[in-house]
Chains A and B, each alone.
Chain A
Amino acid sequence: MTSLAFLIALPLVIAMLLLVFRPRVVRSVIVIAAAVVIAVGSLSLLLPQPGFLSAPFQVPAEYLDWIVLGVELALAAFIFFLGIRHVRHLVSLLALLQAGLAVATEVLFGSRIEVATLIAADRFSLIMAGIVGIVGSLIAVYSLGYMKAYHEHHREYRDRQPLFFFLQFVFLGSMFGVFFANSLPLLLLFWEITTLCSFLLIGYNGTAESRGRAFLALTLNLLGGLAFAGAILFLASTAGTVELDKLISMEKGAALIPAALLAFAGMTKSAQMPFSSWLLGAMVAPTPVSALLHSSTMVKAGVYLVLRLAPLLRGTIPGTMVALVGGMTFLAASLIAISQSDAKRVLAWSTIANLGLIVLCGGIGTYEALWAGILLILFHAVTKALLFLCVGTFEQKTNTRDIESMSGLIMAMPKLSIMIQIGIAGMFLAPFGMLVSKWAVLKALVDSNPLLVIFVVFGSSATLFFWVKWMGKLLEVTKVRQADESGIAGRQWVALGALSAISIGLVGFYPLISAQLIEPYVRGIYGQVAMISQGNFIIMSIMLGMVALFPITFFVYQKNVRVVDAYLGGGNVDSSVLFQGAGGQVKSMEMRNYYLTRLFGERRLSLAGGIACAAFIFVMFGVAL
């Protein structure tokens, strides 16, 4: 039991240490040590330790309620004054409202409510904790190298690395808190801390642009927080409880309103349409922030909550609406990703899309969907973190993150390029993780609501387009370039290598994870479980084996062939890329991927998707009320 509290507290302590010990070397030591401890700690929870999982953690409720409320009010006050100072009155208003709801809950119902289980962990929390523990600590290690180079490149930004690492660890601690808290007010507290961390990290560069984006994120997340607080108040007033496990086991009818409110909070947190704009804006933050907060962990808190509610949402109209929001977001975001050439924006849209898919699973809420949703979280967190860090590394080296400038990366930065390929393959290619999960989603939908299949099939086909063209860009070689991967710190390579290894390893080991963790959890709720048949797993293993041979081709060159120039209509000038152009000039051919902007333009599609999703959300509340 202590280990749960320990996992929450340790990062907070380390955060304090980092704020105190500011020299870089000391920081490195602390961060690396802390990363190891956190990773080991979060993994150790996964080892069978009979008994602890259900053991309640008894703290005198009166104290804790007030402590939680106190911290929450302090946060609200901080945000309130932030809003005042930067003339963002909406932010102040939202903070004020939320604080009001929290106070109202405590004052009106605080004395009547007994919290039986304050923090607890089941297998789902443990999976989430494992993801945060491992991915989070790898990203922290990576940040050490990245932030140093970042500030060398960007002299214009103030070097506030102690704050950066402080926030990162505060964030890690509160993520554990989100996953372990069973008491909803406590969960909301951690939830809001992550929001604040996200706000501060997005605004890290201190420019007007980043501040604007940070406030956008804050506003939308506070909106979710408000719904969350509303859910607590409602729950406290009608059911007399503020515990998550109690909510989930409640009758569907009564629980629908808080469930809808919580689902709404989850959707804002995981940037579903129409709230997706904040996640795009968050891409101004340094890349490790995008990797940690805005793709692999914090946004997962939202879908975590939605998946928690899955049993409540199953078969209800609000549930269907949640699923529709998820499905629509998946489809629209996947299509929009086609039109993006900024690597981080592609990743951001793809993140939104995948979160949508998970929300879709939560909204469906069947055992198959839940199983698929958890698998999606797992695979997506690892692979997307890898991709973000790779893009960050590329940007650090070249000062751009345009996919077009990745042309020929296989020659210029072979290691990095292969890692990106692994990440991309992991995102959509058979037999890698995300495809397996999508497959599971498809099967789950077919049994419950085939209408939703349309989102998945069209969305996945768009996914295929933008990932493959990116892969192609990495592979094509129009200019011979010398390999140069210097200047990337060893710690960065460690993180990248580990994430790549995990991405591949998961494909082989996910049946084990599924059998040990996901299936028992799902069975615990529904009494039945989905899985991939053994025959198919063997076939997929064969495929993986074959694909795994592929990287060999990056190093083996064909002998006994004649190398000739590429076909340029016969106009070649001693080269595969130069041709005799008009006006007597020798021109170089250029190749730019298709972005089909007119068809899949961001503005148009996000508007359409946003309107559709907003409509679904209105219907959700309308029906729930």
Chain B
Amino acid sequence: MGTRTVIPFGPQHPVLPEPIHLDLVLEDEKVVEAIPKIGYVHRGFEKLVEKMDFNELVYVADRICGICAFIHSMAYCQGVEAVMSVEVPPRAEFLRTIWSELARLSSHLLWLGLMADAFGFESLFMQSFRIREKIVDMLEEMTGGRIILGVCRVGGVRRDVPNDALADIVRRVKDLGVEMHRLADVFLQDDSVKHRLVGVGVLIRDQAAELGCVGPMLRASGVSRDTRTLGYAAYGSVDFAPIVEKDGDSYARCAVRIRELFQSVDLVAQAASKIPGGEVGVKVSGYPEGEYHSRCEQPRGEVIHYVKGDGTRYLQRYRVRTPTFANIPALLRMLQGCELADVPVLVLTIDPCISCTER
């Protein structure tokens, strides 16, 4: 008989919103080994370039992931625009920025909710989702989609939003900021929450860098890297600094994401106040030729959309490297020696988006 407990964790598991599988080897409740199996969501859409032209592919990019749908399509469009040297009108760039930040708000609130759920704090989960629902409403008002917005296109965006509507959005987002403060207090101050987060899954600065972490995972370990500082879309025109925490544990990651909520509120306001007038899209002609790695900062970190065209309607290669893909090695490292009860917390701490990862 075994001297250890071996249990399958997933692919279907109530704490996993998405299917991954871990062979957990336990001694009492201590995880001594966690071997992952992924690929349950693998569809293989990168190969769709052979069947869909570069414009149609925006619909696919929009559906890579339901959480960062907009940023995916934006990163794809930026890639194609770079290859084709399309200049996007500034108003479209600002709208992209606003929507990106609202998507980040929605994603972080979703993450907070799921995290609360993972450590068994149901009412906190409900409250996070209650607030998130208001963000989703705003997105729906502006774009027509709750989850998958479908407003980005090569050369701009499909819809304009009147300035007074934007002002209204800014007011409402700021109001939400007050509610988010109350939420943040619980996440950052509550003792039972701290018990579940502080010191769990610690990655020191060097480890995080070595493991190739991106996004809040990296910033929570004290590395100030945020792809938005590249200044894509309208990020060059707004004022912000990457949010960094030092401790590198689950609590620090939570803190980074919570602080980013307020940062996003601020960025939405800044972008809305600076937004210029004019068109929201240009007509694009010709076919892409050349290659470009388009990088954007998703709620989960840096995403890479690599597009390579050979001058036909069909791209030669389209490849997406999502932040979760970069964070999985860190997850494997963190799972060693944790408690069984920490497994869902650790899985969630990287804010996994398996759908993007496996494509």
Q: Which of A402, A582, A589, A590 contacts B21 (CB 8 A)?
A: A582
- Note all chain B residues with C-beta closer than 8 A to A487: none
B8 and A589 form a contact (CB under 8 A): yes
Q: A589-B7, A590-B6 are in contact. Are A569 and B12 (CB under 8 A)?
A: yes
A587 and B23 form a contact (CB under 8 A): yes
Q: Which of A404, A571, A587, A595 contacts B10 (CB 8 A)?
A: A571
Task: Decide yes or no whether B3 CB sits under 8 A from chain A.
Answer: yes
Q: A571-B8, A571-B10 are in contact. Are A590 and B35 (CB under 8 A)?
A: no
Q: Which residue of B lies closest to A408 (CB)?
A: B1
CA distance A588 to B2 in the complex (A): 10
Q: Which residue of B lies closest to A570 (CB)?
A: B12
Give the bracket for the number of chain B residues in contact with chain A: 20 to 34
B13 and A569 form a contact (CB under 8 A): yes
Give the bracket for the number of chain A residues in contact with chain B: 20 to 34
- Note all chain A residues with C-beta closer than 8 A to B210: none
A579 and B3 form a contact (CB under 8 A): no
Task: Decide yes or no whether B279 CB sits under 8 A from chain A.
Answer: no
Task: Decide yes or no whether A461 CB sits under 8 A from chain B.
Answer: no
Q: Which residue of A lies closest to B26 (CB)?
A: A592
A243 to B: closest C-beta gap in Å: 54
A606 to B: closest C-beta gap in Å: 20
B5 and A591 form a contact (CB under 8 A): yes
Task: Decide yes or no whether B29 CB sits under 8 A from chain A.
Answer: yes
Q: Which of A570, A581, A589, A594 contacts B29 (CB 8 A)?
A: A594
- Note all chain B residues with C-beta closer than 8 A to A594: 28-29
CA distance A407 to B5 in the complex (A): 13
Q: Which of A568, A587, A590 contacts B5 (CB 8 A)?
A: A590
Q: Which of A405, A569, A581, A583 contacts B1 (CB 8 A)?
A: A405
Task: Decide yes or no whether A528 CB sits under 8 A from chain B.
Answer: no
B28 and A571 form a contact (CB under 8 A): no
Q: Which residue of A lies closest to B4 (CB)?
A: A592
Q: Which residue of A lies closest to B5 (CB)?
A: A592
B15-34: contact bitstring with A at CB < 8 Å (1 yes, 0 no)? 00000011100111100000
Count A/B pairs, Cβ under 8 Å.
65
Task: Decide yes or no whether B36 CB sits under 8 A from chain A.
Answer: yes
CA distance A63 to B359 in the complex (A): 99
A338 to B: closest C-beta gap in Å: 11
B9 and A590 form a contact (CB under 8 A): no
Task: Decide yes or no whether A249 CB sits under 8 A from chain B.
Answer: no
- Note all chain B residues with C-beta closer than 8 A to A579: 8
Task: Decide yes or no whether A597 CB sits under 8 A from chain B.
Answer: yes
Q: Which of A404, A571, A583, A589 contacts B6 (CB 8 A)?
A: A589
A522 to B: closest C-beta gap in Å: 44
B28 and A597 form a contact (CB under 8 A): yes
A489 to B: closest C-beta gap in Å: 26
- Note all chain B residues with C-beta closer than 8 A to A581: 8, 21, 23, 35, 37
B8 and A590 form a contact (CB under 8 A): no
B35 and A404 form a contact (CB under 8 A): no
B324-346: contact bitstring with A at CB < 8 Å (1 yes, 0 no)? 00000000000000000000000
B29 to A: closest C-beta gap in Å: 7
Q: Which of B5, B7, B26, B35 contacts A582 (CB 8 A)?
A: B35
CA distance A590 to B5 in the complex (A): 5
- Note all chain A residues with C-beta closer than 8 A to B29: 594
Of the listed residues A569, A587, A594, the one surrounded by the most CB atoms of chain B closer than 10 A to its CB is A569
CA distance A596 to B8 in the complex (A): 22
- Note all chain A residues with C-beta closer than 8 A to B11: 569-571
- Note all chain B residues with C-beta closer than 8 A to A589: 6-8
- Note all chain A residues with C-beta closer than 8 A to B2: 404, 590-592
Interface residues of A in 537-570 (CB under 8 A from B): 568-570
CA distance A592 to B4 in the complex (A): 6
Q: Which residue of B lies closest to A596 (CB)?
A: B28
B36 and A582 form a contact (CB under 8 A): yes
Q: Which residue of B lies closest to A594 (CB)?
A: B28
A59 to B: closest C-beta gap in Å: 58
CA distance A14 to B139 in the complex (A): 95
Interface residues of A in 567-586 (CB under 8 A from B): 568-571, 579-583
A569 and B5 form a contact (CB under 8 A): no
B1 and A407 form a contact (CB under 8 A): yes
A568 and B6 form a contact (CB under 8 A): no
- Note all chain B residues with C-beta closer than 8 A to A582: 21-23, 35-37
A406 to B: closest C-beta gap in Å: 8
CA distance A405 to B2 in the complex (A): 8
Q: Which residue of A lies closest to B6 (CB)?
A: A590
B87 to A: closest C-beta gap in Å: 48
A404 and B5 form a contact (CB under 8 A): no
- Note all chain B residues with C-beta closer than 8 A to A583: 35, 37
B33 to A: closest C-beta gap in Å: 10
- Note all chain A residues with C-beta closer than 8 A to B21: 569, 571, 580-582
Q: Which residue of A lies closest to B14 (CB)?
A: A569
Q: Which residue of B lies closest to A584 (CB)?
A: B37
A357-400: contact bitstring with B at CB < 8 Å (1 yes, 0 no)? 00000000000000000000000000000000000000000000
A105 to B: closest C-beta gap in Å: 54
CB-CB nearest 8 A-B residue pairs: A590-B2, A570-B12, A582-B37, A582-B35, A404-B1, A590-B6, A579-B8, A405-B1
List 10 additional A-B contacts (Cβ < 8 Å) besides A581-B21, A590-B2, A595-B28.
Answer: A404-B3, A569-B9, A570-B10, A571-B8, A571-B10, A583-B35, A592-B5, A594-B29, A596-B28, A597-B28
Interface residues of B (CB under 8 A from A): 1-13, 21-23, 26-29, 35-37
A-B contact pairs, 17 of them (CB 8 A): A402-B1, A404-B3, A569-B11, A570-B10, A571-B10, A571-B21, A581-B8, A582-B22, A582-B35, A582-B37, A589-B6, A590-B1, A590-B2, A590-B4, A592-B2, A592-B26, A596-B28
Interface residues of A (CB under 8 A from B): 402, 404-405, 407, 568-571, 579-583, 587-592, 594-597
